[in-house]
Structure 1
Amino acid sequence: MSGADLAPWLARSKWPTVPIRYVAKLGTGHTPSRQHPEYWEDCTIPWITLADVWQLRDGTRDTVVETKEKISRLGLANSAAVLHPAGTVILSRTASVGFSAIMGQDMATSQDFATWICGPKIEPRYLLHALRAMAPDLRRVAAGSTHKTIYMPDIEQLRIPLPSVEEQRRIVDFLGVEIPRIQRILSARRRQIDLIEERCLARAFDAIRGFEYAGDRVDSGLSWLGDIPKSWPVMAVSSQFDVQLGKMLNQDRVRGSHLKPYLRVANVQWDEIETDDLLLMDFPLSERRRYEVLPGDLLICEGGSYPGRAAVWDGRIPEIYYQKALHRARSYGRSSVRWLYYCLRVARSMSVFEVEGNATTMTHLTGDQLAAHRFPFPDRSVQDEILEGLEISVEKDKRLVRALEHQLHLIDERKQSLITAAVTGQVDVTAS
């Protein structure tokens, strides 16, 4: 992988480009053996792993000073891990590819990172910006790999523009002013989205408790919901919907003569089902009626980080099925699946399922729990009347969110373009 192949924008550089290893010492890290418990005692050395990438994702943090895990002197001495000095530049190269930062103190890293100790011809902060300029290119290349990894031989070939150290410092100072300015705009837009989503949830909460519904009110018996109209019964989901888990995955799922697309947890987002990356599984004729998803079915995530997340299937694919990590709720006709969707959305926002879930490492909303879960179910005509107004408001909110997300995308592109232009000399950094 040559520099030109990875990052064509390097050809626009005002300055010559050089492999990073010519001006900075390349290294990496390691994980001390977990088979030796003594290596994991008295751990005092900060150790950067993929668990720390969350600090780097939004590009607002240049320096890492704290890590989730630490290793011991003994573990360091008995592994290929290296104690790198403060000021070392790091790049994540496995799984979460392309995130970079500078070590704020002496640290080690796992093998998931490349490291550079900068020599006299390059400023660490300039190298950081140059790596961030090529981050989209690194992710694009890694996306084609099963393990999403940039291998060390390719890391060795990475090139950057190399202006004088004085010019590097001017670039760093320029970006030190401009990038925070852009980040403030991005933060304001994200806050707007958060507020719109909070308003949407508040509307849904008011709707499912009949806040604007006239008449006497009584305690719903649900601590998270409060009072509801007296005429609204609180009933189990199973009284209104047929709840069924999907097909369990197995090693033979991609064999057989009845391969069909199926939906999994990754496809089911809130109020949206994504179908760009469908997988196939064998569904013999004897299983199709049980596991087929029909238009109007509500799919609900069973476990993981998203118990209760749900969306209604719109029938965009004529024949599709679903796996066991999803529940399918099909209405008996007495209640709307949209009503159940909003009940689940509000309950999920109040962490109801985490509180009531199984005491395991992952919270699960089992079939029995979902079927027995109680929500207010007024007459279908009342549901439809309330939903009509609620859906109009929700659609307006969605349009606003889409517009703001488009702005976020454009602003983020602007930030990326500015970094690229600065490190290649395409913008006058003395004019700020």
Structure 2
Amino acid sequence: MSSNSKPYVILIDGDSFFWSCELIFRPDLIGKPGIILSNNDGCAVSRNRLAKKLGIAMGDPYFKIRNLCEENGVIAFSSNFELYLDISRRFKQILKEEVGGIEDYSVDESFASWNIRMDLKKFAKHLRFRLLREVGIPTTVSIAPSKVLAKVGSRIGKNDPKMEGVMFFHSHIEADSYLKEISVDKLWGIGRGRHLQLRCLGVHSAYDLKYYDNTKLLRKNLTKAVVQIRDELHGIECFPVTEIPEKKKEIMSTRTFFRSVYTKFELARALSDHISDASAELRLQGSVAKEVTIYLSSNRHRDGIEQYSFKKSMRIGSATDNTFRLIELALSMLELGFKNGIEYKRSGIKLSQLEDNYEYTLSLFDPIESEKVSKLITAMDIINSRFGKRKVRSLSCSTDNLTWKMNRSNLSPAYTTNFNELPICG
């Protein structure tokens, strides 16, 4: 085998991934319409083909489509994040074995760069077969000269049964006939806001954008990213595949409560949980934060109650990744923002102004964190990464029986992560 001068981008995408994870252990549901619901069973975040045919759209609130689901026998599951993450880990491990380094784009999508001269379509079919046989997940594999074209190919491969789950653009010209049929807002990275601006420039389809040659006007009215998307449609690499994920510039953790919350105690528990999760992610990417923000809000969808929202940020003298210190700051802001008699429905935090943990400057007046605390936090991270989130936590965090946690009334068993819920054969 020899190398090409220019590698292809391969996109491996799990089909209806969350639903497919459920089908691994519930084959009796094959051929039935199904959806997966978001936090607190709020809205549809994954739909199989049959559910899509019924007109259920991504993000549809469940209370609006409940009757439609019941009338048509649509199976609705709560999000089983533990199961999906474990299946994703197995999915990604096979990809690494087959293609080497991968770029994790999401829980069910990965990019790879491939410059080996071989029958790539045959390889894609082999990859799909192995993922289905060993993990149980059907996939679409798209091969193209750039990431944006690979995303286009994946969209086509998912919706056209004749492709048998594999789409291969040898060159950008081969994509033109498909680009004419794709609305520009369906392109990866465009979105609704940019779509409306592009329409004002006479750009309606992906094909229109590809051959829109007024670069100066695109930059003036939109952004450099739109120009890069256009160039990627020409097969010019602007978004290279990278195995090292880019560090986040801010880390957020928010959640809507299953039931309304009224006490400062419960809000303190919720904020402490948010800080614990966000600070663990902060340390994982090797960063420290110089600012922490908290959010509190009432139920804006409910009439007849006092509406209230609170947002407060606090700068930290010396950037930190210390969970206990960040919790202390968040709870001090809660003291300022808590209001009696409010029916709280949502809380959250944000860690911002992030820096690399080896580059930040110490403040002369800030306390130096003890070696004991650093070792304790490191030990907590090791234990929690092995046994599950917040198995070891601050005393201010919630316990498992608090009622403000997520409502997951249609939750399937933890088939692969809990010995008490392992599937039984025979």
TM above 0.5: no
TM-score by length of 1: 0.27
TM-score by length of 2: 0.28
